[in-house]
Structures are given as C-alpha cells and as structure tokens.
Structure 1
C-alpha cells in the first residue's frame, strides 16, 4: 500500500471511550479485568486442547484456533485503549492506525469463517457419523483453516488499501477509541463513495457467505436430529452443538450492532458501546461458554487441576 502523498495527516487523535472523567477509573479496571479473563480463558483453552489427548479431534482443533483468533483480535484493540484511558494524549500514527485496522479486520473476518468451519464439522459429525473420521482428516481441517485465514487477510488488505488511500486533511480527531471504518470515513476530506462500496461488498461477502454455511449446516443437523428416535439421543446431539450456537449468535449479533446498521451522528455513543462489547467482551465469552457448557472441557479442567494438586502434594511431601 502506498501511503505517500495521500494525506496531510501523520498523527491521528483518538477520542476516549467515555467523556466522563469520573468513569475513567471504573472503565479501566473493568476492561482490564475483562482482558485478563480473556487472556487466561483463551490461552487456557488452547493449552487444554494441546495437552489433553481426548481433545485431539477436529472440533477442538478448530476451537483452539478460535481461541487464538479471539486472543489476537482483542489484543489489537484493548492494550491501546487501556493506555489511552490513563493518558491525556491519545495519539496513533497514520501507519499505526492502518496496521491496527488491517489486523483487526483480518482477524474478525477469519473468525467468521472459523465459526463456519466448526459448523461444517458438527454437520459431518451428526449427519454422517460413520464417515466422520474419513471426511474430517487432518489435511482437510488444515485446508479449511488456511482458507479461512487467507480470505480474512486478503479481504482486509483490500479494505485497508481503499480506506487509507483516502485524503485526510487538517482534521485528525477520530471520534472512536480505535481506528475503525465508520469514523475514518467520516473524517476523510475526499470522495468516499468507492471506499464505502468496497467496505459494504466485503462485509456482506464475509458475513453472508459464512452465515449461509452455518445456517445450511444447522438446517441439515436439525433435520437429522429430529429423525433420532430416542429423546436422550436427540439431547446428546443437540448438546454437542449448543456451545457453538451460542458463540455464533453472540458474535453475529455483535457484528450487526457494530457495523450493519445505518450510520448516524446521533448514534456515536451507541457505536462505542457496541464496539467495546464486540472487541473486548465477546473474545472473553467464547472460552467461558465452552468451559461452562461442555462436559468434556469441564472434565479436562478438573483432571488437570487434580494432577496439579497431586504434583504439588508430592513436591511438598516427598516420600
């Protein structure tokens, strides 16, 4: 991307998450705790999947990468936002702003497709259980994952090039706590029609294509589950999908509230609230949902804690 001679602005100023200074200490502590829980939750989930032999399956393979994406895209935004809450000069360079937007956009888009990969995995497991091992091979799982990241990072490069090729003149205050599409377009002093079209195309492409894969998978899953004769069998089949359904619902509702609504100057505060939930709270929820609702994860956590307790006991009380 060639940024030279495209703008007079070299430094952007970011607005605060809230203009109320009395709320700043509370917001800092709250989102600091949210970020810590997100780090420990997602790193813990990746660790459990890596070390527990029973989790070396396609479903948990995708789950470990979902946790990795959650951790990374939260880290693109949260540390900078936390430091800005404590700083009077909320500044970010032009290149820094472009990089923040690029990685955030790429990781969020990648998560959409990782969620669709997980839906396809559940479809194969429930609708074709006898062929599950032969269909969901390591090579195929890796291929689906690479495709998810390739699409996510490629479309992000197109959006970033379009957005940061706009002219930004004297005004440099981004009315948001991170570099995002809507406040940057509002700040530009050049024609933004092409950039808006590019953004709408890629946002719709990523959201709709991944949503269609997920909806199609679950229509077939529900149809297959309803054919199961025993009530216990139906409950067991539904339980294997419940955590994923909750994660998908939360993520898509967050995307819709943050991006897929009419922009208006009267909705700036609501945009910040929805963006804060999307960028910081949502990445924390996914590992919590799988930890609380998935019996296998609960058993693995209890097993690891018991082993740690036994090792600690042996260390403190040697024979």
Structure 2
C-alpha cells in the first residue's frame, strides 16, 4: 500500500460518517484509529513494533530489577555514594519505562492513538520529570567519580551522608519542579480534552498542540532541556578528562601510557552520547520546528499529504523507541559492569567477569594514580 492509498483510506475513514450529517454518526468516528492508519500503512509494522516495545520494556525492568536486587542484598555497597546515586538512577529509569512502554504497546494493540485527557497531562509530567532526573543524576555520578579519583583524601569529608541525601532529594525536587512549571505554563492555552491525538504517547509536541501551542510552555521546555543537556555534557567531559589526566600523570615517571584509563574514558563518553541520542533527536526537531515557523502547527498530512504524515509517524515512533534505550543500558554501564555489583547478585545471576576495575584501582600508589569506573 502506497502513501496515496493511505491518504485515501484515511479520508474515507473520516469523511464517511459525516455523509448523513447526523449526530449519532459523528459520535461513531474512530479518529484515533484513522490517525493511527495514516501514521502506519501496514498492519505488519504494528506487530513488529509490539515485539520491539515489549522486548525493550521487559529488558529494562529485568536489568534494573536485578541491579537493584544486587545493591539491596549487599550491606557493603548500600552506604557508598556511588551506588546510592545508581539506585536513584534506577528508580528514575523504572518510572520512565512504566510510564512509556505499556501505553505505547496498548495503543499498538488497539491500533489507535492516545486520547488527550487528564491522564495524558500526567503522563507528560511524569515523563518530563524522569528525563530531567536521569540527566541530573548522571551528572552527579560523574562529579562523584571525579571527587573519588582526583580528591580521594577529602572524598569522605566532602560527600557526607547528609550531603548525599540532600543531593538525591535535590535531583527530584528540581525535576518535579521543572515538570510542574511546564504543566502550569501549558494551561495558559485552552485544552481540547477528549480529542484523539496523533501520537502513541503524550510527548511534548502532542500535548502542546492540543493545548493551543502556548508559546511560554514551548520556549521554557526547550530552554530547560537544552540547559540540562549542556550541563550534563560539560560536567561529564570535565570530570572524565580530569580523571584521565591524573591517571596519565601517575605513570609518567615510568614512561608508560595508561591505555586502560584511555579506554575507560572513551567507553563512558561513548555510552553517554548513546544515552543522549533521544535528547539530541528532540533538540534537533525542536530547532527545526522553530526555524520552519507556525505553518507546521497544522497536521502535516493536511499540508503535504500522506508522505509527511507517515514521516511524522516514523519520527514519533523512533523517538519513543530511543527513549527506552537508556533505561536498558544504564544498569549495564553503571551497575552490572562492576564486579562488586555482580558478586552481590544471587548465585544464578552472578557473572564471572575479569577484575579489571579492582586491578585498575590498585595500580596507583597515591590517590592521584587511582582510576575507577
């Protein structure tokens, strides 16, 4: 089925019930199904996507659950700032997964888009808060590693239990506060509650469209997202570059190159960029939205035909899939890759990996020579 056939089917789907002009016919219109049809030409695509989102959701919940189980079973790890921040990251990832995966799968099974209602706004708030919390927590984890490696002597005096609890609480206060601000600014517009949306979840563009495009909400959301992403990148690169420099200085007297430190820096920076792909994707689309102007505020299918409707649907689904990737890889990067966490898991899930991290920590004779993941 080509794009012109999809447009014809969608047009008949919407127009046919209006032919008699009766009120009963208008109530029978399945706008959600029509919008879903215009976004996804082949029914087989929906079945494939159901498998994809079910797999990502299950994988995320399983990996985060096993990591949290390992941390909870170990009394030695529970007090460390590194793992306290990791548990906070896991909590954010689990909430994000539950807020996204089941609802996308439900829409795919129903072959219909989301309905804009109060729950839709709650979903938007929860998703925004979790994304902000994840970015802030990852930033704090990078700073914590920097303090551990580069300021080991003062590490425990800087990261006291009280300061650690305040830091974790502050991440949620800032994230929830940003979500409340976005929702409050959204209500400057007039919402069209009860209408079918053109998405499988209430992501920012969808919510803003149904709230009448309040300019303050859109600008605030984009500026906050750009600022938090930039802060995360700058903090992360500063922390790991400084740790790499200290690790290299530790082996300079021996005329050696700390290859392991370099590989660790490249690994974590690469994983950070992978986690930020959804944010880069969203920032790019927001920038294009601003450059093209308000003309694209109208549904793309009415302006440019079914091809643009299918393209918009593809981009929307791609973004939803990318949002489920970080919750899947975060426990692998920051938790299960660490031999201490693996040893804390139950026997059936215990991994027998190398002890590269422990060897790395014991290489330096001074605090400046420490290099840990």
For residue 148 of structure 2, the aligned residue among 125, 137, 150 is 125
Q: 2:127 matched to which residue of 1? A: 104
Q: 1:30 matched to which residue of 2? A: 52
2: CA distance, partners of 1:297 / 1:19: 45
1: CA distance, partners of 2:176 / 2:140: 17
Aligned to 1:176, the other structure's residue is in SS state coil
Aligned to 1:227, the other structure's residue is in SS state helix
**Farther off after superposition, 169-178 or 119-128:** 169-178
2: CA distance, partners of 1:55 / 1:236: 24
TM-score (normalizing by structure 2): 0.69
For residue 280 of structure 2, the aligned residue among 256, 274, 292 is 256
Distance 1:232-1:63 versus aligned 2 partners, 3 A rule = farther
Distance 1:20-1:236 versus aligned 2 partners, 3 A rule = same
Question: Quick check: 2:92–2:130 contact (8 Å CA) kept in 1?
Answer: yes
Q: 2:175 matched to which residue of 1? A: 152
Could you say what the CA RMSD is over the residues aligned between the two structures, in angstroms? 3.1
Distance 1:196-1:304 versus aligned 2 partners, 3 A rule = same
For residue 64 of structure 2, the aligned residue among 39, 42, 45 is 42
Aligned pairs for 1:6-21 within 5 A: 13=32, 16=36, 18-21=40-43
TM-score (normalizing by structure 1): 0.80
Q: 2:320 matched to which residue of 1? A: 276
1: CA distance, partners of 2:344 / 2:213: 55
Question: Quick check: 2:115–2:194 contact (8 Å CA) kept in 1?
Answer: no
Question: Quick check: 2:57–2:101 contact (8 Å CA) kept in 1?
Answer: yes
Distance 1:18-1:301 versus aligned 2 partners, 3 A rule = farther
2: CA distance, partners of 1:18 / 1:294: 42
Question: Quick check: 1:243–1:289 contact (8 Å CA) kept in 2?
Answer: no
Q: 2:185 matched to which residue of 1? A: 162
- Superposed CA offset, 1:14-62 (max 9, x none): 8547442112222212211221111111111111111123423111111
Which segments of 5 or more consecutive residues in structure 1 lack a partner in the other structure?
1-11, 307-319
2: CA distance, partners of 1:300 / 1:155: 36
Aligned pairs for 1:1-319 within 5 A: 13=32, 16=36, 18-56=40-78, 57-169=80-192, 172-188=195-211, 190=212, 192-229=214-251, 234=258, 244-261=268-285, 262-263=288-289, 265=300, 266=308, 268-290=312-334, 293-301=337-345, 303=347, 305=349
Question: Quick check: 2:68–2:90 contact (8 Å CA) kept in 1?
Answer: yes
Aligned to 2:284, the other structure's residue is in SS state coil
Choose 1 or 2 for highest CA Rg.
2
Distance 1:238-1:131 versus aligned 2 partners, 3 A rule = farther
2: CA distance, partners of 1:240 / 1:298: 19
What's the offset of the Cα at 1:209?
Answer: 2.6
1: CA distance, partners of 2:77 / 2:220: 40
Distance 1:291-1:148 versus aligned 2 partners, 3 A rule = closer
2: CA distance, partners of 1:218 / 1:48: 26
How many correspondences in the alignment?
A: 295
